[in-house]
C-alpha cells in the first residue's frame, strides 16, 4: 500500500504541475472562451477535471508492467490520492496567483485565470470544488480501470465524442447544415457550445456505440478472419471506397473555410508521405525537408506566374508540374550526394542547415531581382481544368485529393517492393544490409530524391493554394510540422501519416484558440510520443518491433496465422535438403 500511495502522490503531483504549466502559458484561459455545455461548463475548466481523472486512471495501474493489477480498494484509494493531490496543486496555484499577482512577469497569471481555476465561484467554494472534486474524479478515473474493458471503452468513447463535438462545433455544424440536417444541428448546439440534451445524448449514444463496438469487435474480426481472401479483399475495398466517396463529396457542403483547411491537410499529407519515405522507410532523419517544399513552391511560381521578376515562361500549371517534380528530384540528388555518408544525427543537422540556407537566401536582397526576395512572388495562377479556374478552395481540393491518393499508392508500392525491403534492411542495420549486397548509397539517394519529389509536389500545391510564395513562411517550422505528424501517426506507417496530418494540421486550424499554442502542442507531441509510444498511434509492424527490441512482450517476428490469413496460403514448410 505504501508504494501505491507514494506513486499516487507523485502521479497527482505530475498532473497538477502539468495543469500549472498549461495555466501559466495561458492555454487554460484561452480554452475557457469555448463552452462545452452552453452556459454551464467551459472547455478550460474541463481540463482540470480531465487531469484529475487521468491522474486517477494512471495511478491505479499495476506497479510495474506485468504485475497483477491492484485490488479494487487499493486502486480506488490510489485514484483518490492522485486526484486529491492534483486538486490541491490547482488550489495552491490559484492561491499563489491571487496572493502575489505576478502579472508584470508572468503575463498569463491573471485574475481570469484565478476565476477559471475557482470555477467562477467564491474562493472557498472554488477550492472545495477543486479538492473534493479532484479526489472524486480520481476515484472515477481509477474505477475506469476496474470496470470491464468493454464498458471502459464505451465510457472513453462517450467522453471523447463529447469533447470532440464541443471542440469541433464550427466544423460539425457546417457539415450538418450543409447536409441538410439543420434540425440535428439545432438539437446539438447553442450558439456557443452544446445544449444540455445534446451533451447527454452524445455521451449516452457514443458510449453505447463504443461499448457495442468493443464487445463485438472480437466476433467481428473473427468473422472477417473466417472469410476467404477474396471476400476479405472485397470487404476491405468497399470500406475504402466508401471512405474515399465521403472524402470526395466533403467539400461540396462544408464551405470555403473548411475546404481551405482540408486543402492544407492534403498538402501536409503529401509532405508527410514524402518525409515518411526518407525518415520512416530509409531511416534518414531529414530536418530540412522544407527546402524541397520551398523549391517546389518557387519553381511553380517562377514557371507559371506572370509576376515572376526575372524569368517568366508563363506555363500552364499542368505543364509546369512535371518540370517542378524533375527539378526537386534533381535537387534532392544534388543535396543528397555529398551528405548521405554522414551518420544519422549529423545528417539531421546538415539537412537542417540546408533548409535554413534555402530560406535565408530566398529572403535576401541578393535574390530580389531573381525570385523577389522578401516580397516573394505574387499572382501565381490557379490550375485550370476543363477551362475552369480551380482557385476556389473547394475545387482545388480535388487535384490535391487525387495527388494524395497517387502519393499514397506510390508510397505503398514502394514500401512493398524490392526497394522498400532494401530500405528496411538499411534502416535496421546498415552494415548488415551492405554486407548482404544492398548498395546503401544508391538506396539512400533514391529515398532522398523520392522524398524530395513528394515535397516538391506539396510545394507546388502550396504555391497555387494561396497564389503567392513568401520565403518567411518556408521556415523550419514546416519541417517540424511534417516530422511531428509522421511521428504522431507512427514512423513508417502510411495511415499514420494521414491521421497525423488531420490531427496536427487540421485540428489547430479549426481551433483558433489553439493557433498560438500550436507549436507548444507539437513539441509536447514529439517529446511525449518519444517517451511513451515511440512507434506512434498507428504503428508500422517492423518499426514497432525495432523500437521494442529486447522487451519480452513484443510481437513475434513471424506470425503464421497472419501470413495465412493475408495470403490465403499455408505457411511454407522449411525445405529439407
Residue 337 binds another protein (CB under 8 A) = yes
Under 8 Å between Cβ of 59 and 81: yes
For residue 240, CA distances in Å to 183, 243, 496, 537 come to 30, 5, 15, 20
Q: Which is nearer to another protein, 89 or 480 (CB)?
A: 480
Give, as ranges, the residues between 434 and 453 that touch another protein (CB under 8 A): 441
Among 5, 13, 18, 24, binds another protein (CB under 8 A): 24
DSSP state, residue 141: H
Q: Which is nearer to another protein, 24 or 146 (CB)?
A: 24
Residue 432 binds another protein (CB under 8 A) = no
All residues at 6 or more sequence positions from 255 whose CB lies less than 8 Å from its CB, including other chains: 174, 178
Among 74, 163, 378, 547, binds another protein (CB under 8 A): 547
Per-residue x/- track, 352-391, another protein (CB under 8 A):
xxx-xx--xx-xxxx-x-----------------------
Quick one: which segment of 1-9, 267-275, 334-342, 452-460 binds another protein (CB under 8 A)?
334-342
Give, as ranges, the residues between 102 and 131 that touch another protein (CB under 8 A): 104-108
- Residue 138 CA to chain centroid, in angstroms? 28
**213-228 burial string, b = 16+ CB within 10 Å, else e?**
ebeeeeeeeeeeeeee
Query: Alpha-carbon Rg of the chain, whole angstroms?
Result: 26
Closest CB 106 distance from another protein, rounded Å: 5
Q: Which is nearer to another protein, 20 or 173 (CB)?
A: 20
Q: Which is nearer to another protein, 26 or 77 (CB)?
A: 26
Q: Which is nearer to another protein, 101 or 231 (CB)?
A: 101
CA–CA separation, 209 vs 53, rounded Å?
22
Q: Which is nearer to another protein, 48 or 491 (CB)?
A: 491
Among 342, 405, 466, 545, binds another protein (CB under 8 A): 342
Under 8 Å between Cβ of 305 and 381: yes
Among 2, 338, 556, 574, binds another protein (CB under 8 A): 338
Q: Which is nearer to another protein, 159 or 352 (CB)?
A: 352
CB atoms within 10 A of CB 520: 15
Closest CB 348 distance from another protein, rounded Å: 6
What one-character-per-residue DSSP string does 80-134 give?
Answer: HHHHHHHHHHHHHHHHHHHHH--TTT-TT--HHHHHHHTTTS-HHHHHHHHHHHH
Among 197, 227, 530, 555, binds another protein (CB under 8 A): 530
CA–CA separation, 458 vs 293, rounded Å?
6
What one-character-per-residue DSSP string does 5-44 give?
Answer: HHHHHHHHHHHHHHHHHHHHTTHHHHHHTSEEETTTEEHH
Residue 243 binds another protein (CB under 8 A) = no
Give, as ranges, the residues between 489 and 528 that touch another protein (CB under 8 A): 517, 519-520, 522-528
Q: Which is nearer to another protein, 341 or 562 (CB)?
A: 341
Among 52, 324, 331, 348, binds another protein (CB under 8 A): 348
User: Residue 341 class from Cβ within 10 Å (0-12 exposed, 13-18 middle, 19+ buried)?
Assistant: exposed
Among 68, 183, 322, 345, binds another protein (CB under 8 A): 345
CA–CA separation, 351 vs 343, rounded Å?
12
Residue whose grid cell is 522498400? 420
Q: Which is nearer to another protein, 24 or 395 (CB)?
A: 24
Q: Which is nearer to another protein, 133 or 500 (CB)?
A: 500
Q: Which is nearer to another protein, 90 or 162 (CB)?
A: 90
Residue 295 binds another protein (CB under 8 A) = no
The torsion defined by the Cα of 302, 304, 309 and 313, in degrees rounded to 10, comes to 100
Quick one: which segment of 23-31, 130-138, 228-236, 568-576 binds another protein (CB under 8 A)?
23-31
DSSP state, residue 473: G
Cis bond upstream, residue 380 (ω within 30):
no
Residue 341 binds another protein (CB under 8 A) = yes
Report the interface residues with another protein, using CB under 8 A. 21, 24-27, 104-108, 283, 285, 287, 337-339, 341-346, 348-350, 352-354, 356-357, 360-361, 363-366, 368, 441, 480, 483-484, 487, 517, 519-520, 522-528, 530-531, 534, 546-547
Amino acid at each position: 500500500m505504501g508504494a501505491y500511495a507514494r506513486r499516487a502522490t507523485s502521479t497527482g503531483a505530475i498532473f497538477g504541475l502539468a495543469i500549472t504549466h498549461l495555466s501559466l502559458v495561458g492555454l487554460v484561459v484561452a480554452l475557457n472562451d469555448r463552452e462545452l455545455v452552453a452556459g454551464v461548463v467551459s472547455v478550460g475548466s474541463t481540463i482540470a477535471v480531465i487531469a484529475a481523472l487521468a491522474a486517477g486512471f494512471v495511478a491505479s495501474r499495476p506497479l510495474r508492467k506485468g504485475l497483477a493489477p491492484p485490488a479494487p480498494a487499493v486502486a480506488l484509494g490510489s485514484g483518490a490520492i492522485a486526484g486529491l493531490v492534483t486538486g490541491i496543486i490547482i488550489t495552491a496555484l490559484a492561491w499563489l496567483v491571487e496572493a502575489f499577482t505576478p502579472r508584470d512577469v508572468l503575463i498569463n497569471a491573471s485574475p481570469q485565470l484565478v476565476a477559471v481555476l475557482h470555477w467562477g465561484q467564491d474562493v472557498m467554494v472554488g477550492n472545495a470544488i477543486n479538492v473534493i472534486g479532484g479526489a472524486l474524479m480520481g476515484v472515477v478515473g481509477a474505477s475506469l480501470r476496474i470496470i470491464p474493458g468493454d464498458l471502459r471503452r464505451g465510457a472513453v468513447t462517450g467522453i471523447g465524442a463529447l469533447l470532440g463535438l464541443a471542440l469541433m462545433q464550427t466544423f460539425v455544424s457546417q457539415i450538418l447544415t450543409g447536409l441538410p440536417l439543420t434540425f440535428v444541428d439545432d438539437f446539438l448546439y447553442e450558439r456557443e457550445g452544446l445544449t444540455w440534451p445534446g451533451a447527454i445524448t452524445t455521451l449516452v449514444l457514443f458510449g453505447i456505440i463504443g461499448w457495442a463496438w468493443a464487445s463485438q469487435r472480437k466476433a467481428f474480426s473473427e468473422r472477417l478472419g473466417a472469410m476467404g481472401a477474396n471476400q476479405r479483399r472485397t470487404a476491405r475495398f468497399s470500406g475504402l471506397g466508401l471512405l474515399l466517396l465521403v472524402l470526395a463529396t466533403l467539400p461540396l457542403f462544408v464551405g470555403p473555410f473548411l475546404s481551405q483547411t482540408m486543402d492544407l491537410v492534403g498538402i501536409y499529407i503529401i509532405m508527410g508521405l514524402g518525409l515518411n519515405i526518407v525518415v520512416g522507410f530509409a531511416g534518414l532523419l531529414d530536418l530540412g525537408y522544407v527546402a524541397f517544399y520551398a523549391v517546389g513552391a518557387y519553381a511553380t511560381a517562377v514557371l507559371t506566374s506572370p509576376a515572376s521578376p526575372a524569368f517568366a515562361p508563363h506555363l500552364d500549371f499542368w505543364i509546369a508540374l512535371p518540370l517542378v517534380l524533375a527539378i526537386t528530384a534533381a535537387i534532392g540528388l544534388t543535396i543528397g550526394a555529398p551528405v548521405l555518408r554522414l551518420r544519422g544525427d549529423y545528417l539531421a543537422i546538415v539537412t537542417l542547415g540546408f533548409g535554413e540556407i534555402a530560406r535565408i537566401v530566398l529572403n535576401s536582397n541578393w535574390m530580389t531581382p531573381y525570385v523577389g526576395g522578401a516580397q516573394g512572388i505574387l499572382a501565381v495562377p490557379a490550375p485550370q481544368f476543363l477551362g475552369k479556374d480551380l482557385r476556389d478552395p473547394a475545387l482545388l481540393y480535388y487535384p490535391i485529393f487525387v495527388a494524395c491518393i497517387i502519393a499514397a499508392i506510390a508510397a505503398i508500392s514502394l514500401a512493398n517492393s524490392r526497394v522498400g525491403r532494401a530500405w528496411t534492411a538499411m534502416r535496421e542495420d546498415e552494415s548488415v544490409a551492405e554486407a548482404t549486397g544492398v548498395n546503401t548509397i544508391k538506396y539512400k539517394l533514391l529515398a532522398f530524391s523520392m522524398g524530395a519529389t513528394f515535397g516538391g509536389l506539396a510545394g507546388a500545391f502550396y504555391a497555387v493554394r494561396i497564389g503567392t510564395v513568401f520565403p518567411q513562411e518556408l521556415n523550419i517550422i514546416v519541417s517540424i510540422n511534417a516530422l511531428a505528424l509522421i511521428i504522431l501517426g507512427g514512423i513508417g506507417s502510411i495511415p499514420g501519416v494521414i491521421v497525423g496530418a488531420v490531427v496536427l494540421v487540421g485540428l489547430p486550424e479549426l481551433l483558433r484558440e489553439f493557433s498560438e499554442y500550436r507549436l507548444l502542442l507539437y513539441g509536447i507531441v514529439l517529446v511525449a510520443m518519444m517517451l511513451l509510444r515511440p512507434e506512434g498511434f498507428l504503428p508500422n509492424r517492423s518499426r514497432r518491433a525495432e523500437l521494442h527490441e529486447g522487451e519480452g512482450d513484443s510481437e513475434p517476428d513471424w506470425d503464421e496465422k497472419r501470413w495465412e490469413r493475408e495470403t490465403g496460403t499455408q505457411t511454407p514448410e522449411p525445405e529439407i535438403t
